A and B are shown apart, each in its own frame.
Chain A
Amino acid sequence: MSDTILDVINLKKYFYHSTGIFSALKKEKRVIPAVDDVSFYVKEKETLGLVGESGCGKTTVGKLILRLIEPTDGKIVFNGMDMLSLQRGELRKVRSKMQMIFQDLDAALNPRMKVKDILKEAITVYEDLDYYQVNKRIAELMNQVNLKKSKLSNYPDELSGGEKRRVGIARVIAVKPKLIIADEPTSALDVSIQAQVINLLRDLQGELGLSYLFISHDLRLVELISNKVAVMYMGRIVEMGLSGRIAHKPMHPYTNVLWSSLTEGSEKVISVSRLSWQAFDFEKPVTGCRFHPRCEVFKERGSPSECTDPQKEPKLTETGASHYVACHFPLL
């Protein structure tokens, strides 16, 4: 078994916002538990997929791990180091081993820098290399991400979406990271280009021994690229396990609904058409299980009191073969 590279324990991030002048006077604060008690781990050279609808806190988890935002509570252990106790200088060093691919292609690349300068900047951030070494490294990177050398003198807006994404990936691997947090790396790309990017990410994983935290709402790709998948709902992980099991033998009703929106015609499908339009809303607190207002099992069983009891919010429990589920009535 390989070693654990990232361990996230009871991670919490609450956003506060006051509602207006009167509630501010009363010192009333509204809390949005964007990430609420999330625990998982990523092993070396493995990929953990993180899925969920938009707004469920996926991206926040990614940013918390890099400490781009400070968590409210919890523990993040990366490579044996406690991330939360690190000082600025140390954090900078650690970040070279841990990189993030951001969702927005255009915002991630400086429009006034040529591809060559973008890569050069990334290479020389942590290493002091001379001109020839830098050029050699740039050539190596361009080769790794299958980009033509002629693109080096282009500006980002002269590149296509797929090329921009590859420049982004080249920049990330330039610092020789061990863990890459890929936040929706394929959204906003065409299907054909998506496939190129996914193939590239998988090739690089083999070549460089990378670990990925793959955040996406594209369930097919998540299933394909990940060894394990964690499903998030309203700031919590509701199910976690091997990707094949999550996709084909889901136990949480929510996971079932998510995947059944893809594989129509398979057995045990709770049709999406019966799932209500309304996604979740952090502003409207739910007591008990967070999913119960949309849950089909809850309706079928005639609204059992366990699901709505605020004292008994379901906890992530192991049901065998490293499959975890947070539900009172898991599907079998």
Chain B
Amino acid sequence: MSEPILKVEDLRTYFYSYAKEAFIRSVDNVSFSIRKGEVLGIVGESGCGKSITAQSILSLITDGPGIISGNILLTHNGKTVNLLEGLPDYVSVKTKRKAILEIAKDVAGWLKRSETLMKGIRGKVISMIFQNPKSALNPFIPVGEQIAESIMLHSKVSAKKEAMDIAAKWLERVQIDSPSMRLYDYPFGLSGGMCQRVMIAMALSSEPAILIADEPTTGLDVTIQTKIIELLKQLKEELNLTILLITHDMNVIMQLADRIAVMYGGRIVEYGLKREIMDSSSFIRHPYTIALLNSQPTVEEIKMKERLRAIKGDVPDTITLYRGCRFYERCDLKNDRVKKKCKEAEPEMIEIGIGHYMRCYLAE
């Protein structure tokens, strides 16, 4: 197996809320790694910190004051860079308010300093496609020019005409008909699925090592969703792409991901290969993963018109400091053996199989 290309260690992204005088712990001690040519899927309900994780990797966090800490190790061209080098050290959440603001100031300063480093990485080594393709494209510029701009920025091509030719080639790659004509279309003239493909073309035109896809299929029609997934699959094979896929749709994960991280309340609760996590015969799976899978009806259940197995309650807020497991309130599987422990202390991440980690007392 190849070496990890991106390694995230103990990533924390907290935002300070003045109103509540507490931290919103959007991403809380998250660690994972992606190997070359692999698709890692991060799945979870909205508000669990999936997108913030991706934004932290690219230092796209601008809303201060907050705290970012941890290590993000990117291996590219034989060199390993820590994207979070030089950040002020993380201190406990219970730090005094004044000290917090001091740290937040440092973080804000660091974010500014890291811009130079990130400029060489954003779009060039790590590209990102966003949830809403229409709003991610500039409405006043033809799509071809937008792709060409990205090409001219990241590669040695300096002539616009040449860049446009390359852009047309990329449009063809993402299966857009008559690409040389489409270059001159404005985003409003394109359908949602087409805009998403333009985004993919733009993201890939700089031949990045990693593609971060944040909910690439939400808001699109079912037929187009399936086609986008197929396209990503195909491009992944052709270009040996590494993808960090963020979605709340288990179907997308099933079809694309090799490895899965299930997030809940800012933490990864289960992490491992897809075949192990999705293996229904396995007895040890995280209750949240099971609940997520169950909330989507199976073909049989639909036929029998059965009641859906919804997860009761709502996603927890990430401000309150819970003593026990964050999923405790909504968990259906807690039993008498572990109940007391679940309430009193948060379970640690334990390894239950090769490379399969889980945060639950049931696994013990």
Question: Contact residues of A with B, CB < 8 Å?
Answer: 53-54, 160-163, 190-196, 198-199, 202, 217-220, 223-224, 244, 247-248, 257-258, 261-263, 272-273, 275, 277-279
B292 contacts A by Cβ under 8 Å: yes
Q: Are B230 and A273 in contact (CB under 8 A)?
A: yes
B161 at the A/B interface (Cβ < 8 Å)?
no
B280: A residues at CB distance < 8 A: none
Contact with B223, one of A162, A263, A272 (Cβ below 8 angstroms): A272
Contacts of A161 in B (CB 8 A): 46
Per-position binary interface string of chain B over residues 16-60, scored 1 when its CB falls under 8 Å from any chain A CB and 0 otherwise: 000000000000000000000000000001110000000000000
Contact of B308 among A198, A247, A272 (CB under 8 A): A198
Bound-complex Cα distance A219 to B296 (A): 12
Task: Choose from B177, B248, B302, B312 the contact partner of A278 (Cβ within 8 Å).
Answer: B177
| Closest residue on chain B to residue A162 by CB atoms | B314
Q: Name the one of A193, A194, A277 contacting B227, with C-beta atoms under 8 angstroms.
A: A277
Q: Give the interface residue-count category, chain B.
A: 35 or more
Given contacts A192-B310, A196-B310, A220 and B296 within 8 Å (CB-CB): yes
Partner among A196, A217, A219, A277 whose Cβ is within 8 Å of the Cβ of B175: A277
CB of A194 within 8 A of CB of B295, answer: yes
- Is B222 a contact of A224 with CB atoms below 8 Å? no
Contacts A/B (CB < 8 Å), 29 sampled: A53-B222, A53-B224, A160-B47, A160-B315, A190-B46, A191-B45, A191-B250, A191-B292, A192-B291, A192-B295, A192-B310, A193-B45, A195-B295, A195-B297, A199-B310, A220-B296, A224-B297, A224-B305, A224-B308, A244-B303, A258-B223, A261-B225, A272-B223, A272-B230, A273-B230, A277-B175, A279-B191, A279-B193, A279-B223
Partner pick for A217 among B192, B221, B250, B292, CB 8 A cutoff: B221
A261 to B227, CA, bound (A): 9
* Cβ-defined contact, B295 with A262, below 8 A: no
Task: Find the A residue at minimum CB distance from B228.
Answer: A277
**Interface check B226, CB cutoff 8 A:** yes
Q: Distance (Å) between the CB of A326 and the closest chain B CB?
A: 19
Known: A192-B45, A192-B291, A194-B295. A275 touches B308 (CB 8 A): no
Q: Which residues of B contact A54 (CB under 8 A)?
A: 192, 221
Given contacts A196-B310, A257-B223, 7 further A-B contacts (CB under 8 A): A191-B248, A196-B312, A261-B226, A262-B222, A273-B226, A277-B176, A277-B197
Q: Are A190 and B296 in contact (CB under 8 A)?
A: no
A249, chain B: closest CB distance, angstroms: 12
Residues of B close to A192: CB separation below 8 A? 45, 291-292, 295, 310-311
> For the complex, is B299 an interface residue (Cβ under 8 Å from A)?
yes
Residue of B nearest to A203 (CB): B307
